Amino acid sequence: MKPTLQVTDLRTHIYLRSHVLKPVDGVSFNIAPGRILGLVGESGSGKSTVGYSVMRMIDPPGRVAGGSVEFNGTNILDLDDAEMRRLRGNRIAMVFQDPMMTLNPVLTIGTQMMETIAAHETIGKMQARDRCVHALELVGIPAPAERLKAYPHQMSGGMRQRVSIAIALLHEPGLIIADEPTTALDVTVQAQILSEVQKLAQDRGTAFLWITHDLSVVSGLADDVAVMYAGKIVEQGRTIDVLRNPQHPYTRGLIGSIPSGTAQGEMLTPIPGSAPNLTRLPQGCAFEPRCPHRLPQCASAVPPQSAGTGRALACFNPLVDAR
C-alpha cells in the first residue's frame, strides 16, 4: 500500500549566531494508512522536532534544511503557506501533551470545535454541530451533545485530552501526529485513550505518528517503532521485532532501563552517562561515549543506516543475539 506519510532524509537545523544545532539530522521513515508508528526517544533526542517539522511548525532560527516530507505523494515542504494552511488541521492534525495548553480556557469546547470546522469548510451550523457530537462520540465522551457547552476547566485531564483528539478528528485527517498525548494521564485513562486510537486506525485507516518516551506504551500500541537518539533514528522496524530482539546498543539500554523488563530484586542495567548536548556532539556515532559495545571506528565515523528487511539500523557493531 502507498504510504500516507513518507519522510526521507529530513534535516531540521537551528541556525544560531555562533553555531548550528541539528536536532533532526537525516531522519527517514514511512507510515502506511491505518498503521501506528511509535517514535521513541529521550528528551532532547529530536522526536518532537520531527513532528513539528512534518506539520511545518518550525519557527526561526530553526528551519527544515533538507529532505522531503511526502504526504499522500505531495512533498509538503514545497507547498506555499496558504496551501499548507489548508492541509494543517484538515488532512494532517496534531495532538499535544497538555490539553490545557491546546484548548482555549474561555471558550466552550463546542465553540472551539465549530471554529475548527469553519476554518476549513463552509457548512451549516447544525451540520457542524452534528459533526462535533459525532467526533466526541468517537473518542468515548459520554453525553457529547451536553458536553459541547462545557468549558475546559469543567472537564478532567483525560476528558480534555479526548476533546483535543476529537478536534484532531473533525476533518477525518489521513495522518494524526500525537506528541506525548498520554504522558500526563493516569494508566486507566491512558488505556481508554489508547483503545480509542487503535480503533480509529483500524476502522478509518488513519495513520498515526505516536511520539513518546514510553517504550511500554509503544509496545502495546504501535505496529512499527523508530528509536531516536541525538537527532538520528538508530533503529527501526516492527515493534515486536525491535523490542524482542534489539540490535542497537541504545535500544537495548533503553529496554534494560525499564523496571518491567527485569524481575524484582534484580538490578536494572541503566545506560551510563546522560544524553549528549547538541552543541557538543561527538564526531562519530553520537552514542559512542555511552556505548558498551563501541569499536575504535565508532569514535571517528558516523555509522550509516543499514536497511534490512523492514528493519533499519545505524551501528557498526550491532548486537547479534540480544538477551
Partner 1 sequence: MTQTPILELRKVAKSFAKGDDIVSRAARKLGLLAPNRPLHAVQESSLQIWSGEIVGLVGESGCGKSTLGRLAAGLIRPTCGAVLQDGKDVSTMTRSERRQAKLKTQMIFQNPYASLNPRAKIGQAVGEAARFHGLLDDGSGRTSYEDYVESQLARVGLDSGYKNRFPHQLSGGQRQRVAIARALAVKPHMLICDEVVSALDVSVQAQILNLFIELRDRLNLTYLFVSHDLHVIRYLSDRVVVMYLGQVVEEAPAEQIYRHPNHPYTRALLAEVPRLGEGKSQFTAIKGEMPSPLDPPKGCPFHPRCIHATARCAVEAPAIVEIAPGHRSACHLNQMSH
Binding site for partner 1 (CB under 8 A): 42-43, 156-159, 186-192, 194-195, 198, 213-217, 219-223, 239-240, 243-244, 253-262, 264, 267-272, 274-275
CB of 194 to partner 1, least distance (A): 5
CB of 300 to partner 1, least distance (A): 24
C-alpha cell of residue 123? 457548512
Q: Which is nearer to partner 1, 83 or 186 (CB)?
A: 186
DSSP 8-state class, residue 262 = S
Burial class (CB in 10 A: 0-12, 13-18, 19+), 59: exposed
CA distance 50 to 37: 13
Q: Which is nearer to partner 1, 66 or 157 (CB)?
A: 157
- Kind of pairing, strands 36-40 and 92-95? unpaired
Are 201 and 27 spatial neighbours (Cβ–Cβ below 8 Å)? no
Which stretches of the chain are assigned E, i.e. beta strand? 5-15, 20-31, 36-40, 62-71, 74-75, 92-95, 175-179, 207-212, 224-229, 232-238, 306-307, 312-313
CA distance 305 to 27: 10
CB of 101 to partner 1, least distance (A): 18
Q: Which is nearer to partner 1, 36 or 313 (CB)?
A: 36
CB of 307 to partner 1, least distance (A): 23
Q: Which is nearer to partner 1, 75 or 195 (CB)?
A: 195
Q: Which is nearer to partner 1, 106 or 187 (CB)?
A: 187
CB of 69 to partner 1, least distance (A): 27
Q: Where are the alpha helices (DSSP H) in 88-209?
A: 99-102, 109-120, 125-138, 144-147, 157-169, 187-204
- Kind of pairing, strands 207-212 and 175-179? parallel
CA distance 154 to 109: 10
Instruction: Identify the H or E element spanning 253.
Output: helix 249-257
CB of 78 to partner 1, least distance (A): 35
CB of 240 to partner 1, least distance (A): 5
